[in-house]
Structure 1
């Protein structure tokens, strides 16, 4: 075990004592570690080679006002597997805002739920909230990109050292900010993205080519400012979303950030050729909802099929008697696996529930994004007041069968992407890797679960000397990609 780096102070003002997203499994950790001698229960498979990375909020300094889980500075936790050996490392994403606060030795930004008028700067669209790059990690051209849920700079990070390489501008060709979930097409080497803003009646849609430069840009018209979170791709098409979660324009004029769910609006989906423009869009209407995360999309004849985790009501009425009741209500997701079929020949939308269990943060084998998949690996949402995952559900979209790996009472995990084993032959020929934290013991470990036997005990458990706070999204980077 190597010596840890210098601890970074994390303070908590009295006003945050009752904030559940600063306590227990969510509490920030103060030390960045590099560990290569870890206790293993079981045996780490020698055909599991690559790196598992997970992003999430971990604030460096306390900030004035109420803390929202989205406010924390991005911290990536990574586990490198190599021929049966395991290395763990965690590092902050050194964003521009993180560096400014580090230099000042204190917080310079208020949080999402406060007035941003005094904040030093925000994102490229004038939203004055701190871009913390705390949401997702996407692998593209030898780097992982740390992204932010409200559109910001994609920060390039070395997948092994976790050194922040800086805001990625794609050789000076990038035109815009990047949303949380760009799509990497491993067949073409392309990265597809969009952005939006609080005052924009359009979204920008673009493609980064395999040479690392922007090769396409389109402006897609919208009725007004929207907050789409994800997108879908197929071999030939891209699907963008215009959903009824919209900016409160009265609040915007007052300098505040506030969203609301407009139940009078339908959901709309823009299907356009991958290199299409606004004039090429076919719009499809569906029942109102919100979609945080797409499972996958593909083509069948004249149809584009898209599976998602669909939220019927993203703005529940709060049932919590708490000063942070609004945040607690928003973070209580109620999502089901749902299928849309967009018929390009008739313009008709068909939609239906595939499964009604509450599941989110889905993943599939990254090698077949945009092609027909059979299996997805979804995080089961725990029946607790906060956003927490108490198991992994393997869903078979062909038969509807579900198999579940439960973490156990008081144990909560992280998004678990499929990790293909060496020379993997398909969607279940590999493992699932996740961090699991025990809320009673205050400890964390790494679980390695066989994807083809998900209900069985973990193949191996790797103990960690420092807790990994609950966070957001994760990715798996294979050894052949690292090379």
Structure 2
């Protein structure tokens, strides 16, 4: 079994153990391909496609303190075909990964250290390692692995997970690329933004169905911000100016420090999908932060957007520890929240849809930008580190919810909706999640009926290796694979 023990990595920093290098977070050291996996239950014959998840998996120790976000990107995939499953995991071969591979040791410090000695950073001059470890998106026949601070998207084969190289969209992409692009399957377009510490602070773009950049425009902001996600509707894009700001004094000293300014409102830029930045309409709301959007859509005279809203992203450290600030910052506290932007009056109406702590939302990818009924969020555990102890199914029409808990000591992943063959609706399919058992030190993929979480797992596919707790996931249907399934 591939686990942390016995590797050259050292989880002890400044005399303290780093919990994000131990146990269910510990990196795995081998890339493997495994067939003939043990299954508890039976894999549904109408579940065909591939489940993919990105996350940090440090290959080489680095100087200074390790932050969970520093790890090299690794994609884990489970390919379902006709009642069988194949597991594959591969590192994302970024430029930085290749440089450290050639050197045989770490070359970059992490987000909590001075980046001045790092070989290079992203296009905006941020001297941190672009690890492409955050999200994985399927577009135009390929996977895109992306990074949370904006970097170069990496293109991968969706089945072998081999890195194909930097994604330039046939040479038309200039600048960097955010973590969570949106794909409209009905038009074949991809929507993204790019942000940085110098003007223009925010740039928005569209990749057309032909795979080339069709539109870019600058969005005027009063200063540098740290937007993480965006939304689309059938006719609009929604971008964000939120009051989480990079401390400029610290930046000029070579440090990366964030400040949440509660005196500033949250602002939302609504513009036509292919509109110029001068056509933005700004809508204001109470201060807060949004890591992840559920979805947005249009109703008569208004735009509705559901998100997971963090009231205050800056938890204060409550323990004495060299990593206290990181541990506090990663204590996620978010609630399902709805905004309504009135296109006639310019007013914003907002409020909670649920008061529980849930995040990492997924929906049926076929209805992105259209009104959806269901959202599938992970439930945040009451633990000292960020862990997902279950899945919550929200019915956004009725307000009802269903819950599935993974069980004591079992921690899951973002759980995308996997439409069954010939699926006719947003819950006509399955939810899939990597689950790691901290007691057994092994992982599996749990398959649930999206329409009936109360029924428990349809099946459990046991894996020959542990899958470290990670970030975002996607499901690619067999019909999207173009006969390669």
User: Is TM-score (shorter-chain normalized) higher than 0.5?
Assistant: yes
Alpha-carbon spacing, 1:216–1:9, altered in 2? closer, same or farther (3 Å): farther
**What residue number does 1:175 align with?**
174
State how far apart, in whole Å, the 2-side matches of 1:242 and 1:281 are. Answer: 12
**What residue number does 2:214 align with?**
215
**What residue number does 1:450 align with?**
449
**What residue number does 1:272 align with?**
271
Residue 14 of structure 1: CA displacement? Answer: 3.6
Note the aligned Cα RMSD (angstroms).
1.4
Residue 200 of structure 1: CA displacement? Answer: 3.3
State how far apart, in whole Å, the 2-side matches of 1:79 and 1:317 are. Answer: 38
State how far apart, in whole Å, the 2-side matches of 1:200 and 1:135 are. Answer: 25
Deviations 1:403-457 (A, max 9, x none): 0010001110000000000000001100001110011111111111111111112
Conserved? CA contact 1:10–1:60, under 8 Å: no
State how far apart, in whole Å, the 1-side matches of 2:177 and 2:411 are. Answer: 29
Conserved? CA contact 1:196–1:202, under 8 Å: yes
**What residue number does 1:365 align with?**
364
Residues 267-306 of structure 1 mapped to structure 2, 5 A cutoff: 267-306=266-305
Deviations 1:184-218 (A, max 9, x none): 11010000000101233530100000101000000
Flag structure 1 segments of 5+ consecutive residues without an equivalent. none
**What residue number does 2:437 align with?**
438
* 1:68 matches 2:42: no
Conserved? CA contact 2:34–2:464, under 8 Å: no
* 1:51 matches 2:54: no
State how far apart, in whole Å, the 1-side matches of 2:85 and 2:298 are. Answer: 39
TM-score by structure 1 length?
0.97
Among 3, 9, 12, the alignment partner of 1:11 is 9
Alpha-carbon spacing, 1:341–1:13, altered in 2? closer, same or farther (3 Å): closer
Conserved? CA contact 1:362–1:376, under 8 Å: yes
Residue 9 of structure 1: CA displacement? Answer: 5.7
Residues 51-450 of structure 1 mapped to structure 2, 5 A cutoff: 51-450=50-449
State how far apart, in whole Å, the 2-side matches of 1:433 and 1:200 are. Answer: 41
Conserved? CA contact 1:80–1:87, under 8 Å: yes
State how far apart, in whole Å, the 2-side matches of 1:358 and 1:9 are. Answer: 35
Aligned residues: 479
State how far apart, in whole Å, the 2-side matches of 1:291 and 1:28 are. Answer: 28
**What residue number does 1:468 align with?**
467
State how far apart, in whole Å, the 2-side matches of 1:13 and 1:448 are. Answer: 33
State how far apart, in whole Å, the 2-side matches of 1:234 and 1:402 are. Answer: 25
State how far apart, in whole Å, the 2-side matches of 1:334 and 1:230 are. Answer: 17
SS of residue in 1 equivalent to 2:480: helix
Residue 389 of structure 1: CA displacement? Answer: 0.2
State how far apart, in whole Å, the 2-side matches of 1:218 and 1:14 are. Answer: 46
Residue 10 of structure 1: CA displacement? Answer: 4.9
